[in-house]
Amino acid sequence: MKATYQIVCAFYLLFLTGCAVSVHQVQVSDFSDYVSISKGKDVSANTEQFVVFGFVDNVHYVEKAVQKLKRKCPRGKIIGITTEYMTELGFFSWKNKVYLKGRCIES
């Protein structure tokens, strides 16, 4: 009986306790300087914050994503920026993630 209980518990822990991902917000900036789709290039950047029991290791992860995006378009302007905030849940931990995408228009 004890071995059966252990097998059932192991099965539960391995296969029934999965992760979940939830998208919290999606925001889009304006396309003030609209140009042809053939001009410019798509750029993107992402970062994440790892949290265990509410303790975080990176409190500036959004700012780092913005800096990464700016570095990909050093001599231009980024328009139509899409920002996605999401959380990936784990066992007593989770990851806050941010994805930035935009269109780099060279000056």
What pTM was computed for the model?
0.72
Q: In what order do the strands lie in the sheet with 41-52?
A: 20-28, 76-89, 93-106, 41-52, 55-56
Which residue, 106, 107, 99, 105, is CA-closest to 44? 99
Contact 76, 107 (CB under 8 A): yes
How far apart are alpha carbons 12 and 18 in whole angstroms?
10
The per-residue pLDDT for range 59-103, each reduced to its tens digit, is: 899 999 999 999 999 998 888 899 999 988 887 888 899 999 998
The per-residue pLDDT for range 39-57, each reduced to its tens digit, is: 788 999 999 999 998 888 7
Q: What are phi and psi of 10, to 5 degrees?
A: -65, -40
